[in-house]
Structure 1
Amino acid sequence: MVGKDHPAAVSLPRLVIAAPASGHGKTTIATGLMAALTRAGHDVSCHKVGPDYIDPGYHALATGKPGRNLDPHMVGEHRLAPLLLHGAGVGGDRPADVAIVEGVMGLYDGQIGGNGFSSTAHVATVTQTPVVLVVDISHASRSIAAVVQGMVAFDPSVRIVGVIVNKAGSARHATEVVSALESTGVPVLGVLQRDDGIVAPSRHLGLVPADERDDAAHALDRLADQIAERIDLDHLLALARTAPDLDAAPWDPSAEVHPPSERRPLVAMAGGRAFTFRYAETEELLRAAGCDVVTFDPLSDERLPEGTAGLYLGGGFPEVHAAGLAANAPLRTALREAVQSGMPTVAECAGLLYLCRSVDGIPMVGAVDADAVMSPRLTLSYRSVVVPTDQLMGVAGTRVTGHEFHRTKLVDAVDQGTASWLLDGEGHGIGSETLHASYLHTHWAGHPRIAQRFADAVHAYEPGNTERSDRERDEATSLLVDASVAGAPSRSSQSSSLANGLAFHGDAELGEGLVDFAVNIHDDARPTWLVDALHASVDDVGAYPDAREAEHAIARRHGRATDEVLATAGAAEAFSLIARARPWKRPVVVHPQFTEPDAALLAAGHTPHHVLCDPANGFALDPTLVPSDADLVMIGNPTNPTSVLHPAQTVRMLLRPDRVVVVDEAFMDSVPGERHSLAGQPVPGLLVVRSLTKLWSIPGVRAGYVIGGQQLLAELRAQQSPWSVSAQAIAAMTATTSDQALAEAATRVTRIAQHRAVLTDGLTELGVRFTAPAAPFVLAELGRGAHEQLRAAGYALRRADTFPGLDDAWVRIAVRRPDTTRKLLAALRVEL
């Protein structure tokens, strides 16, 4: 089934972005269009023709939605329209405004020998979607018109409605091509110059996935700006609305599978930088089949999620991350034991490699008696295989379609008696009643019986020691909730005087003999080049400081004009300048968050109004709660102390005429790729505040800056005292914007994420509630009195009851090195 009911024809504005051949730039432009439309306020669903999983990762980054694949070979021609509608949310609460579908290869290129089957044109015809051609003109001019005319005439059932000219060498060159295209009758929607696009780094299997690129979000922001400037988005949307209604029902996973029991067993899915691929519908089918799904990272998680009853190891690049995977010996052991215990396990391609004894001599899990090596030959092909015997993926004789895409091979021959698939009579992979491991990628939406069979096995599996683990977790939670403050040491008089005020900060928690989990300063050593720059700044103290060099460096780092940057003596000065800049009538601070904005507003004679985010929905921002007459709105992103990262699109919804929105991005440089940052986007009425204190471990150097429009910054400069930014701060700002600094920052961000996972995994194991963290700290609900109990045990955590919207049941825990964090987790379990 593709849906429970078959409703009347439904409307979905949509376009396919295609090209005459690979290499014309359709991925760059399709992704840029998705990002530009999303940033313009449209709800965009993203789709990809073919089985590829790297491009959808960039699509997801651009739209904030899962990338979806449309492939007739993988799912069947009859499911294309239903899956398109499902991915666009048709029939749900918030259907997409427009669907953008990126094509594959050339417009008419499909399965070899298949007469165009599974081509972009095939999918466009089945889904009745208009096509926009991206054409690389770098090696031709008027001949481009002949190419386009030929593409239009080749198959009249394919409706080509527009052209985007890419890689123009000059304005004159572009004019020549556009003039020639007039004869085709196909409108030109925009022209991009040869150096306008972004190019993702490549390696042995093509583009590097977005999840592995710390710069992906910044590059995408630049691309979105270029697309919005050079392509007529209004005309493009008008063409999308010409798509005819679809006479199909949205695909519904609950119509394809059913829960075999009332239990909700847990399926652990591999994720992180080494395992970046699985089709979104796989998880949706498993949830519809009564399973809960949790992602774990084989690079950083040392154990499987508590209560795991099934494993799904999808695609990715374990050969690239082999050293990191090998270093995580505790998880390799846990996985080997899980597979050997009979835990239902599906391992596709990367998952197969990970379960092998080794990859290119580097040790892996060892659950499969085979070794893998890199091969000079790329395997890239659609497959149609048969299940040889009754096993986890199906009953004997079941035919399954899929694809292979790898440049490794198994050294050991496959035992024909335990093969997972038969291809032309030859066995491939390893299969049993509980294990499936092969190179073949399958799309379970096209074969829902696989999802049902796997879910049945997961429901039937009994994880070892589950009852005991649950009991221990409950006892630990009870200890935390019931923790008594009796006998806890009193604070210093200074801390007591600040306890209930906005001036209370994490450093007030520190005391002799206490392990510091309270102050949000990265615990790595400062890099040598930064120390050298700070030392050298001493030579400049004989002259009044001039911050223009630092402002120029910051502007270059964010792609802004120099007069759109104001250097400040840390974020605290920035908030003070903003508070004094205007006679604000209704300033609003979104809480829980850093209290310095409140303190600055009060000091300037204003009364701040509070909008409280709800812990029940993870402290997510609801822009509708902000009063319409608010002329100043201040919010953190990611927010201190909740560690919540608000989507950039949601933050932009706060913008109004005659309103200034201030986004405190003090911890944004600790977010991979700084996704959802607004620092690089000139937006009227928006100010972004940054601080260098946290990531670079320099709290004694008050270094920060504000980014915004020229007029707003002029108002702040009028409030700033002369020479308020010290020579040391200027040196720090200049040094930390260099290419060397950005590379070091990416390394630190990765390390923070790994160390944070140790903390969150431990809290999960203990049954402690915490918010989904994006910053180098975690807000956890330990229970009333737990803060003082931990203090008595020698650990300083940041109390949270001085943040509006929180009480003393919450604490903020700074991310520290794993060995230090494990000691805290042990104290949570034992001392309390």
Structure 2
Amino acid sequence: MTATPTSLARLVIAAPASGHGKTTIATGLMAALSRAGHVVSGHKVGPDYIDPGYHALATGRPGRNLDPHMVGEHRLVPLLLHGARGADVAIVEGVMGLHDGQIGGEGFASTAHVATVTRTPVVLVVDISHASRSIAATVQGMVAFDPSVRVVGVILNKAGSERHAAEVVSALESTGLPVLGVLQRDDGIVAPSRHLGLVPADERDDAAHALDRLAAQIADRVDLAQLLALARSAPPLDATPWDPADVVHAPTTGRPVIAMAGGRAFTFRYAETEELLRAAGCDVVTFDPLTDERLPDGTAGLYLGGGFPEVHAAGLAANAPLRESLRAAVVAGMPTVAECAGLLYLCRSVDDLPMVGALDADAVMTPRLTLSYRSVVVPTDQLLGAAGTRVTGHEFHRTTVEPRAGGEPALLIDGVPHGFGSDTLHASYLHTHWAGHPRIAQRFADRVHSFVGPGTAAAAPAPTAPVRTSAPSPLSGPDARAWHGDRELAPGLVDLAVNIHDAPRPGWLDEALLAALHDVGAYPDPTRAEHAIARRHGRPADEVLATAGAAEAFGLVARARPWWRPVVVHPQFTEPDAALVAAGHTPEHVLCDPGAGFALDPARVPEDADLVVVGNPTNPTSVLHPERSLRALLRPGRVVVVDEAFMDAVPGERGSLAGTPLSGLLVVRSLTKLWSIPGVRAGYVLGDSALLADLRRQQPPWSVSAQAIAAMVATASEEARAEAAVRATAIAGWRAVLTDGLTELGIAFVAPAAPFVLAKVGRGTHRRLREAGYAVRRADTFPGLDDAWVRIAVRRPETTRKLLTTLITEGGARWS
């Protein structure tokens, strides 16, 4: 049957050689197009893992690889169409120089090869920092070298001046190619590098913020409209999108868990690997070997992919409980695939630091880089293939393992044994792309389905009824549902209790709210708001749910499922508790330790909790929890709700998970605080579309008002994001006045990240401040706090200094 031709706007971003800036510009184009409202699919020519991580960050979709050596030339177009399902445009980043491919392969696996097979137009990125008119000769040579490669435009990078750029542009007129943009020498934003290239996006806390700056620069300096027109000139593709369900099959019963290593130490894996394993009837659960002390519940298989265990060796070594758990699982015969980083992790040591110890081998760093495509043979019947199976892959490492192979090697490279293999284990330096070898995925999944061992679902069936391991914690203090900051107010009191930014609203926001009055004659439709928010966070629209403020969101979550063990991390906003109680649930509390600065400890959350709610930054502590701590809460079958009501007041929104699609995660946002609109109940939830569908079913029709919709659209704009950055910076400055003053008075407070500070002023001070004319938020309504604490809203310095003067008067010598 002939496939129906599929139209896909697409471009390859290539260069004459490495170092011209194609990664920076390709990633920046993806981010700029995403932020302009397009759904962008990011792809990378070659086997590289790091660049696709940045592509995923830029697009909100998995980064994909196109490599004819790894998957076969015939799968390139199906995989491209699979990765680009639902996308408006696909951007394919090239590798090395346009025509550089496999050594001795006459351009095989080069960017030009992939562009030709996929019939994709090419845009050249050219570093012009050391030439001017000669650039035109270089470009003309690239165009003429292989006429089957359709070069359609040029982006100039690292121009020294406007005059320098004009000289190059003038010379390029002879080529007939349009110059789509010019970036100056100091415009580039380059990710930091180390021994194996760029530092992965998952290891950079500043990656999202840097990408925002890059996207803005690309949008300013590149003609995106002309670039899209060239992308749309790509011809239709006569192929059927690749589908993992077409190449593997699943048993009719059971879905065993495969634990897949992730986190900062294990960032390398192909998206299709997980898709194949799921299609083969397995559930894939990511765990972090740096932070998780045990494997996910029901684990029946292990996948330890690539990454940088040598960089994180100390952290891996420190997690002794997980190392022992892994060693026991491998020794017990749990099916295990370990590629490169996974091989090192299973060794006894890496640079003398202890690792898992499941292999009788040690690893050390070397000065020599091993980087090569491989074609290997499986020597005996093993986990990933029968004897004689041929597999293509690649190696990329600066370490060596001694001995190089076990008694039963995993594979032969040019007849030389490498790695460690058995019918339950594959551990080697070879990276493989399972879309090119789906029989590997099938064989591994089949072994996982048949595995029975300690701790697996087959060995330890779940009880017929859940059993609680601890009693629920009651709400403490006054009625938590009724007591909010506005209850502190009274005529004549200075308001330092309500966390609403006291600066005037921007004119454009007031205009949008007033214009919304024209819409009140019709039932409100939040679709345009959800699309605007999706663009703002780089996510698909079906991963956004507009709500009547965060309070409605918590109510929807509480009613969405029959939670049997909901947990709320405290001290924090009590509305989630109130919503759960109203829905008939009895929430348990996990209290953060004040001695640890109220930091989140994921290990204190009961393992069988199916709902966990946590604030970030948390109200009232003002603590900003690290992203890794929040990720550590995720479990199969668990929903984690992160309340980011105050995240837009954090400069750069560092630590936010709003743009990070993770299974089981819901992020709640509120527009009330930063934009000073408490009378307009406007908020939204970001998360997996299936989870949001559960919430939508609980939402009454037309709950989101016309004014709330207008506020969401307005505050998702680029103008709003710039204004939000200004406000967040101002808040940080005002807050410093408060914290400096508290420090001088000897008053203890929690290190703050939000527009409020939790201070331990002593019992009775809340009342005395009120008598002196100041309203601050009482803290004894929050579980885990008593009336020695108060929450103080950040205000302008003149207001704060008056409060500090009053504290001096009220406190006397008690603070010292």
Match of 1:728 in 2: 737
Instruction: Give, in whole Å, the separation in 2 of the partners of 1:107 and 1:713.
Output: 38
> Is 1:60 aligned with 2:56?
yes
Q: If the length of structure 2 is used for normalisation, what is the TM-score?
A: 0.66
**1:548-587 CA deviation, whole Å, 9 max, x = no partner?**
xxxxxxxxxxxxxxxxxxxx97972406855999696679
Alignment-mate amino acid for residue 195 of structure 1: D
1:665: which partner in 2? 647
Matched residue of 1:167: which SS?
Answer: strand
User: Partner residue of 1:574?
Assistant: 501
Match of 2:796 in 1: none
Q: Which amino acid aligns with 2:401?
A: L
| Matched ranges for 1:132-531 at <5 A | 132-415=123-406, 417-466=407-456, 477=467, 491-492=476-477, 495-496=478-479, 499-503=481-485
Deviation at 1:151, TM superposition (A): 0.3
Q: Is the 8 A contact 2:486 2:497 kept in 1?
A: no
3-state SS, counterpart of residue 345 of structure 2: helix
Q: Which residue of 2 aligns with 1:689?
A: 674
Change (3 A) 1:130 1:268: same
Task: State the SS of the aligned residue for 1:237.
Answer: helix
Aligned counterpart in structure 2 of residue 51 of structure 1, from 18, 34, 47: 47
Asked whether the 8 Å contact 2:300–2:456 carries over to 1, the reply is: no
**Counterpart-to-counterpart distance in 2, 1:128 and 1:314:** 32
SS at match of 1:689: coil
Give the secondary-structure state (helix, strand or coil) at the position aligned to 2:501. Answer: helix
Contact 1:665–1:690 (CA<8 Å) still a contact in 2? no
Residue 503 of structure 1 and its aligned partner are, at CA, apart by: 3.7
Distance 1:68 1:745, change over 3 A: farther
Shift of 1:667: 7.7
From the superposition, tell whether residues 673 and 665 of structure 1 become closer, same or farther in structure 2 (CA, over 3 Å). Answer: closer
Shift of 1:234: 0.2
Corresponding position of 1:33: 29
For the pair 1:102 / 2:98, whether they are aligned, the reply is no
The 1:479–1:242 alpha-carbon spacing in structure 2 relative to 1, beyond 3 Å, is: same
Change (3 A) 1:173 1:392: same
What's the counterpart of residue 649 of structure 1? none
Which residue does 1:9 correspond to in 2?
5
In the TM superposition, what is the alpha-carbon distance from 1:728 to its structure 2 partner? 2.3
CA distance in 1, matches of 2:201, 2:720: 36
Report deviation, 1:132.
0.1
Paired position in structure 2 for 1:551: none
The percentage of counterpart residues that share the same residue type is 65
Of 724-733 and 167-176, the range deviating more from structure 2: 724-733
DSSP 3-state at the match of 2:174: helix
Residue of structure 2 equivalent to 1:23: 19
- Cα 1:502–1:103 change in 2 (3 A) is same
Contact preservation (8 Å) 2:17, 2:96: yes
1-structure distance, mates of 2:326, 2:244: 29
Range that drifts further, 571-580 or 187-196:
571-580
Q: CA deviation at 1:796?
A: 3.9
Q: After superposition, what is the alpha-carbon deviation per residue over 1:193-236, rounded to whole angstroms, capped at 9, x for unaligned?
A: 00101111111111110100111111111000000000000000
**TM-score normalised by structure 1 residue count:** 0.64
Q: Deviations over 1:234-256 (max 9, x none)?
A: 00000000000000000000001
Q: Select between 465-474 and 20-29 the one with higher mean Cα deviation.
A: 465-474
User: In the aligned structure 1, how far is the partner of 2:53 from the partner of 2:243?
Assistant: 23
Greater alpha carbon shift after TM alignment, 119-128 vs 637-646: 637-646
Q: For residues 166-208 of structure 1, give each alpha carbon's deviation from its aligned partner in whole angstroms, at most 9, with x where no partner exists.
A: 0000000000000000000011000000010111111111111
- 1:583-623 superposed Cα distances (whole Å, 9 cap, x missing partner): 966799999xxxxxxxxxxxxxxx9997647434999xxxx
DSSP-derived class of the 2:366 partner: strand
Cα pair distance change 1:8/1:639, threshold 3 Å: farther
Q: Does 1:82 align with 2:64?
A: no
Unpaired runs of at least 5, structure 2 = 489-494, 518-523, 531-547, 567-613, 628-643, 661-670, 677-714, 728-732, 745-750, 755-779, 787-816
Report deviation, 1:124.
0.1
Question: 1:48·1:101 contact (CA, 8 Å) conserved in 2?
Answer: yes
Q: Does the CA contact (< 8 Å) of 1:357 and 1:366 recur in 2?
A: yes
1:133 CA drift (Å):
0.1
- Aligned CA distance change for structure 1 residues 440 and 499 (closer, same or farther; 3 Å): same
Q: Distance in 2 between matches of 1:709 and 1:449?
A: 47
SS in structure 2 opposite 1:418? Answer: coil
Relative distance call for 1:421 and 1:19 in structure 2 (3 A) is: same
Task: Give the 3 Å change call, closer, same or farther, for CA 675–36 of structure 1 in structure 2.
Answer: farther
Matched letter for residue 426 of structure 1 = V
Specify the SS of the correspondent of 2:290. Answer: coil
The CA RMSD measured in Å over matched residues stands at: 4.4
Q: Is the 8 A contact 1:29 1:227 kept in 2?
A: yes
Distance change (3 Å), C-alpha of 1:427 and 1:711 = closer
Contact 1:308/1:463, CA 8 A, preserved across alignment: no
Q: Using the alignment, how far apart are the partners of 1:459 and 1:122 within structure 2?
A: 39
**What CA deviation, in whole Å up to 9, does each residue of 1:394-436 have, x standing for no partner?**
0001100000000000122424x40111111111100100000
| Distance change in 2, residues 1:688/1:194 (3 Å) | farther
CA shift for structure 1 position 462: 1.3
Instruction: Assess, with a 3 A threshold, how the Cα gap between structure 1 residues 491 and 335 changes in structure 2: closer, same or farther.
Output: closer
Structure 2 counterpart SS, 1:134: strand
Report the Cα distance in structure 2 between the residues aligned to 1:419 and 1:710, rounded to whole angstroms. 59
d(CA) in 1 for partners of 2:741, 2:327:
48
Q: CA deviation at 1:711?
A: 11
CA distance in 1: counterparts of 2:66 and 2:48, whole angstroms: 10
- From the superposition, tell whether residues 308 and 244 of structure 1 become closer, same or farther in structure 2 (CA, over 3 Å): same
- Aligned partner of residue 369 in structure 2, secondary structure: strand
Secondary structure of 2:674's counterpart equals strand
Shift of 1:729: 3.0
Distance 2:739 2:454 in 1: 58
Gap change, CA 1:233 and 1:569, over 3 Å in 2: farther
CA gap 1:148/1:673 in 2 versus in 1, 3 angstroms:
farther
Letter in 1 for 2:647: E
Residue 454 of structure 2 aligns to a residue whose secondary structure is coil
1:407 and 1:256 map into 2 onto residues whose CA distance is 34
Does residue 123 of the first structure (1) align with residue 114 of the second (2)?
Answer: yes
CA contact (8 A) 2:297 2:455 kept: no
Distance 2:166 2:647 in 1: 43
Match of residue 491 from structure 2 = none
Note closer, same or farther for the CA distance 1:454–1:261 as it changes in structure 2 (3 Å cut).
farther
Residues 1:328 and 1:184: Cα distance change in structure 2 (over 3 Å) = same
Alignment-mate amino acid for residue 280 of structure 2: A
